[in-house]
Chain A
Amino acid sequence: MNLLINEKYKVQPFYVFFLVHSMQTGIGVLSFQRMLAKSTGTDGWISILLAGLIVHFMIWVIYKIFSIVPGDIITVNYHAFGKLIGSFFSLLFVLYFLILGLTVMISYIEIIHVWMFEEIPAWSFSLVFLILIYYINTGGFRTITGIAFLSVLVTYWLIFVFFYAMKYSEFTNLLPIFDHSILDIWEGTRNVSLTMIGFELLLIFHPFIKDAKASQKYAHGGALTTTLFTLFIYVVSLIFYSEKQLVMTIWPTLSMTSIVELAFIQRFEYIFVTWWAIIIIPNMTISLWAASRGAKRLFNIQQKYPLWGMSLIILMVNIFFFDIDSLNILKRIIDPYGVFFLGAYLPLLLIIIHIKKKRNRL
């Protein structure tokens, strides 16, 4: 269950910043405001900061785990629980990454359907995305990192949209502060979880980082950037919409872009939605890469076979089950169960490994 990655396939530690940040930023950023506004309203920023804090703790846990047992989550599971139970948990992770990739893809296709092309069947989009994902995956982890890195570089200009929206803002919407109970804030933290997950891919790509220990600060940096970015978007949404309006808007970020009007371009949301594909593609790619790599490590097969299998599953889901309901089901799986699984399992794993290590020494 040990693994050694050739040095030439590893990436520099600072790319972890881009991997974590690009993986966290994706579909959630477009729509988290509604649920957050519903539960926490003007105090949503506290929930976001709290969620960010939890993410930082989880990243710390992940690095702590790997400092005790180097490798990836499959190695760690094996060391912690032995072959059978360890493999079971590893399989859960593979399943989780697959569902994550599927959710991201279906959510994006849904956005395309609503905002751009209503008639084009979902499976055709997913087919093209899957071919692209396969193409990126054949380049190995370096190519995946490259796509994540470039996607961050070429999409950050979109942030001007939020400054543009500030022209129409009403700052008093930010008040009142500290108006909600701790429970409300906790509920809000749960609601932003979909925007915050993505860091857990570290569990799989950790061995691909050159000088992995040095990369911890970059991982934290990525998570911090995501937190601040999310916070910024939420604050802008709060001042741009009224709270009641925000609760009724499904994709507040996207609706905000409609306001942009340049000399030669109107309906800026078309550009925003298409450009968002560059953010979404690394999301799907990294998830599916992680899922297929987990399967490869578990069953000792070539990575292309699980990748084909998973692509086929995703394609089938898109052909037969694509509708808003399936998306809701997927989001439900991710939201309470996936997030809970991560939040509970990883600290537990750390404790178990820690105990095992102590015993071995004693």
Chain B
Amino acid sequence: MFNRRNSRKSSSQQMDMDDGINKNSEIRELFNSLSSSYDFINHQGCYNGVGYWVSYYRSLIDAQELHRSVLSVIPTLEQINLEQMKDSIPIEDTLITSTRIVVEKRIMRGHIAIRLDANLDECLLINVVAQQGRQVDKPELEFGIISPQEAFVEDIDINLNLVRKRLPLPELQVTELTVGSLSKTKVAVLSIDGIVDKANVDTVIQRVNDIDFDEILDGSHLAQMLYDDNSTLFPLFLNTERPDRIASALAEGKVAMIIDRSSSALIAPTILLEYFITMEDYNMPWIPASAFRLLRIFAVIFSIFATPLYVAVLTYHYELIPKDLLETIVTSRNLIPFQPLIEALFLEISIELLREAASRLPTKVGQTLGIVGGIVIGQAAVVAGLTSNILLIIVALSALASFVTPIYKMGNAIRLLRFPFLIGAQIWGLLGITISAVFLMTHLIKLTSMGHPYLEPIYPFHLKDWKDSFIRIPMNFFKSRPINLRTENTKRQSTPKKNAIKKNDFNE
């Protein structure tokens, strides 16, 4: 198979050299070289004494469509020529050409080529591409209870349709680009004209165009190549499978990217706090929405700091613990032969192991593993005297807490962040944790997403943008779009009418 690919490449190189001398034979050359692949079909037909060739990749086209709309139409024609065929065939995406590059590109995208014996250099290209892929399904990664149950699939047109249905606007602009010298992945850059800062769109388009890589297979794959800073744990582009999230980001004035053959769409620029927002927050009254958001942020902080604090306190600062509590901890730890760090690492790594294994295993086995790993191993480790009960609780809770982030990639970052803090705690106790925290703080201040500061609205401080950060205040306060996006149109709603203001005065 590899040999075949190589030989095809060399023959196409040769053709490039012949370019200009004998242009017309190029098409024949092309079909000859394509034919060397077994799934390329050259079907010869004859009608009214005129011979014709139908050539296509069996694996790319929809055979039923070919039979119904092309092959069965040909015998109804009075005269066989390409123009006539083009007019009679009930498919709008057709083209008559003899340019090699166009023919090759279209055939690779699922077109069929019809040539007449009289002139084998002219092709009629008809789009009969097979639409295969799964149906629009429930979101798996970003499931929401009080939100629409639609998620992106691996087809760019279906995905665009899902977004466009939510934003039926002529201003919603789609720019389609192609990246990847081998994969030729289609990337659609979406933005709402009149709202978005044009500079952001241009940056995205420029960065996508600058990519020089052979294969782009997924949205997250692409995102890494667009990042401002490659060596960071934090995701700088938000990848989501929820069309409503894309629609809301577009309405705020962000830029979205939908990638063909990938069910994750990208949003840029993003801020850190955005990764703790679920779409559900907007579907609930503001008080529970804010409470759950605060809970999520607390969970993340807990998840990062709980185990390091345990290690720091038990290694260096046990004086911190009041003596009643100390008794409990000492009883739980008195049989354990290791120092707290080893104990913590043992548990942390086994939890990471469980998590990694569970995400690779089929669902049914995964459940068993959860029970075996979580309960049996955990309990056995305590009974065997390898870890203390208290640490088991802390580690399990912090593992649980790291799952609350709606965006999975942020969960990954938090998973890993714990380890530098653990090491800091072991070296200098609380001081080590503090210094690591300042390192983290600096890193976050330095990070930018598409040139926009990542830690906004905390730093740079924008009070107006706090309305949708740690908490979400009522919708009638959502008067303007986020400041950091520098949108062209900042107004989100008109000022409320005066009679809308309720008169109460204790019901008069």
Contacts from A to B (Cβ < 8 Å): 12, 14, 112, 116-117, 120, 128-129, 132, 135-136, 139, 142-143, 146-147, 149-150, 153, 261, 263-267, 270-271, 273-275, 277-278, 281
Contact status of A275 and B445, CB under 8 A, knowing A149-B459, A267-B317, A270-B320: no
Which of these, A12, A142, A266, contacts B322 with CB under 8 Å?
A266
In Å, the complex CA distance between A278 and B460 comes to 19
Residues 117-174 of B contacting A (Cβ, < 8 Å) = none
Find out whether the CB atom of B438 lies under 8 angstroms from the CB atom of A277: yes
User: Nearest chain-B residue to A262 (Cβ)?
Assistant: B322
Find out whether the CB atom of B439 lies under 8 angstroms from the CB atom of A139: no
B468 CB to closest chain A CB, in angstroms? Answer: 19
Mark the stretch among B2-10, B425-433, B471-479 that contacts chain A: B425-433
In Å, the complex CA distance between A136 and B459 comes to 15
Which of these, B320, B433, B435, B446, contacts A266 with CB under 8 Å?
B320
B425 CB to closest chain A CB, in angstroms? Answer: 11
Contact status of A132 and B319, CB under 8 A, knowing A139-B442, A264-B325, A271-B430: no
B161 CB to closest chain A CB, in angstroms? Answer: 39
**Interchain residue pairs A-B with the least CB separation, the first 4:** A146-B445, A274-B430, A139-B446, A146-B459
Find out whether the CB atom of B429 lies under 8 angstroms from the CB atom of A116: yes
Number of interface residues of B (CB under 8 A): 26
Does B321 lie at the interface of the complex (its beta carbon under 8 Å from any beta carbon of A)? yes
Residues 408-440 of B contacting A (Cβ, < 8 Å) = 428-431, 433-435, 437-439
In Å, the complex CA distance between A348 and B433 comes to 46
Contacts from B to A (Cβ < 8 Å): 316-317, 319-322, 325, 428-431, 433-435, 437-439, 441-442, 445-446, 455, 458-461
B341 CB to closest chain A CB, in angstroms? Answer: 16
Pairs A–B under 8 Å by Cβ, sample size 24: A12-B461, A132-B435, A139-B442, A142-B445, A143-B442, A143-B446, A146-B441, A146-B445, A146-B455, A147-B438, A147-B442, A149-B461, A150-B458, A264-B321, A264-B322, A264-B325, A270-B319, A270-B430, A274-B429, A274-B431, A274-B433, A277-B431, A277-B434, A281-B438
Find out whether the CB atom of B319 lies under 8 angstroms from the CB atom of A266: yes
Residues of A within 8 A of B316 (CB): 116-117
In Å, the complex CA distance between A275 and B435 comes to 9
User: Nearest chain-A residue to B430 (Cβ)?
Assistant: A274
User: Nearest chain-A residue to B318 (Cβ)?
Assistant: A267
In Å, the complex CA distance between A143 and B316 comes to 32
In Å, the complex CA distance between A1 and B319 comes to 56
Residues of B within 8 A of A143 (CB): 442, 445-446
Residues of A within 8 A of B429 (CB): 116-117, 274
In Å, the complex CA distance between A149 and B462 comes to 13
In Å, the complex CA distance between A117 and B430 comes to 11
A156 CB to closest chain B CB, in angstroms? Answer: 15
Residues of A within 8 A of B322 (CB): 261, 263-266
Find out whether the CB atom of B320 lies under 8 angstroms from the CB atom of A267: yes
Find out whether the CB atom of B325 lies under 8 angstroms from the CB atom of A132: no
B133 CB to closest chain A CB, in angstroms? Answer: 44
Find out whether the CB atom of A147 lies under 8 angstroms from the CB atom of B320: no
B358 CB to closest chain A CB, in angstroms? Answer: 33
Residues of B within 8 A of A267 (CB): 317, 319-320
In Å, the complex CA distance between A338 and B434 comes to 31
In Å, the complex CA distance between A212 and B325 comes to 54
User: Which of B429, B433, B437, B442: most chain A CB closer than 10 A?
Assistant: B442
Residues of B within 8 A of A132 (CB): 435, 438-439, 442
Residues of A within 8 A of B437 (CB): 278
17 additional A-B pairs beyond A153-B458, A265-B322, A277-B434, beta carbons within 8 Å, are: A128-B435, A129-B435, A132-B438, A132-B442, A139-B446, A143-B442, A143-B445, A147-B441, A149-B459, A265-B320, A266-B319, A266-B320, A266-B322, A273-B431, A277-B435, A278-B434, A281-B438
In Å, the complex CA distance between A153 and B320 comes to 25
Find out whether the CB atom of B459 lies under 8 angstroms from the CB atom of A278: no
Which of these, B317, B438, B441, contacts A270 with CB under 8 Å?
B317
